[in-house]
Amino acid sequence: MSLWRLREFHDDDLDQAIRLWDHGRRSAPSTEVFPVSEVVSAARSGEPTIVAVVGEELVGMVVARLEGERAWILLLALSGGWRNRGLGSALITELERRLRAAGVRRFGALLAPGATGTTALEHCDYRQVSGLVYFEKLEHLDATDAGLLTELGGRVLPAGLWERLAGMHEAKDTIERRIVLPLVEPEVADRYGVSPPKAVILFGPPGTGKTSFAKAVASRLGWPFVELFPSRMAAGGDGLAASLREVFADLAELESVVLFIDEVEEIAAARSGAAVDPGHGVTNELLKLIPAFREYDNRLMICATNSLRTLDAAFLRPGRFDYILPVGPPDEAAREAIWRRYLDSAVRTVDLGRLVDASAMFTPADIEFAARKGAQRAFEREVSARTGAPAGTDDYLAAIADTRPTLTEAALTAFHEDIEHHLRT
pLDDT for 236 = 46
Is the pLDDT at 32 greater than 70, yes or no?
A: no
Exposure class string for 264-278: b at 16+ Cβ within 10 A, else e:
bbbbbbebeeeeeee
Mean pLDDT, range 167-191, rounded to an integer: 91
Q: What share of the chain is helix, strand, coil (3-state, %, to 5)?
A: 50, 15, 35
**Residues above pLDDT 90, as percent of the chain:** 43
Give the total number of structural domains in the chain. 3
Does 169 share its domain with 47? no
> Mapping DSSP to helix (H, G, I), strand (E, B) and coil, where does residue 61 land?
strand
The predicted-structure confidence for 250-282, as pLDDT tens digits, reads as follows 888 888 999 999 989 888 877 655 544 545 578
Q: Does 214 map to a domain?
A: yes
- Domain with 215 in it: what CATH number? 3.40.50.300
**Based on the domain organization, do 40 and 118 belong to the same domain?**
yes
Domain contains 156: yes
Record the pTM.
Answer: 0.64
Confidence of residue 135 (pLDDT cuts 50, 70, 90): confident
Portion of the chain with pLDDT greater than 70, in percent: 91
Query: Is 64 among the domain residues?
Result: yes
Distances from the Cα of 174 to the Cαs of 135, 171, 302, 335, 394, in angstroms?
Answer: 33, 5, 15, 18, 36
Quick check: is 133 in a domain? no
Please write the tens of the pLDDT for every residue from 365-403.
999 999 999 999 999 999 998 888 888 999 999 999 999
Q: Which is it for strands 5-8 and 49-54: parallel, antiparallel or unpaired?
A: antiparallel
Quick one: 324 and 182 in the same domain?
Answer: yes
pLDDT at 369: 94
Give pLDDT, residue 226.
Answer: 94
For range 297-320, the mean pLDDT: 89
Statement to judge: residues 283 and 155 lie in one domain: yes
Q: Which domain holds residue 384?
A: 332-401
Residues 317 and 184 grouped into a single domain: yes
DSSP annotation of 349? G
- The reply to whether 292 falls in a domain is yes
List pLDDT tens digits, range 46-58: 999 999 999 989 9
In a domain, 222, yes or no: yes
The CATH number given to whatever domain includes residue 337 is 1.10.8
Within-domain flag for 31: yes
How far apart CA 339 and CA 252 sit, in angstroms, is: 41
Please name which of 90, 117, 87, 101 lies closest in space to residue 21, comparing C-alpha atoms.
117
Predicted confidence at residue 215, as pLDDT, reads: 95
Last residue of a domain, one of 123, 153, 181: 123
- Cα-Cα-Cα-Cα dihedral sign, residues 18, 24, 29, 33: negative
Of 23, 130, 153, the closest CA to residue 79 belongs to: 23
| Per-residue pLDDT, 98 | 93
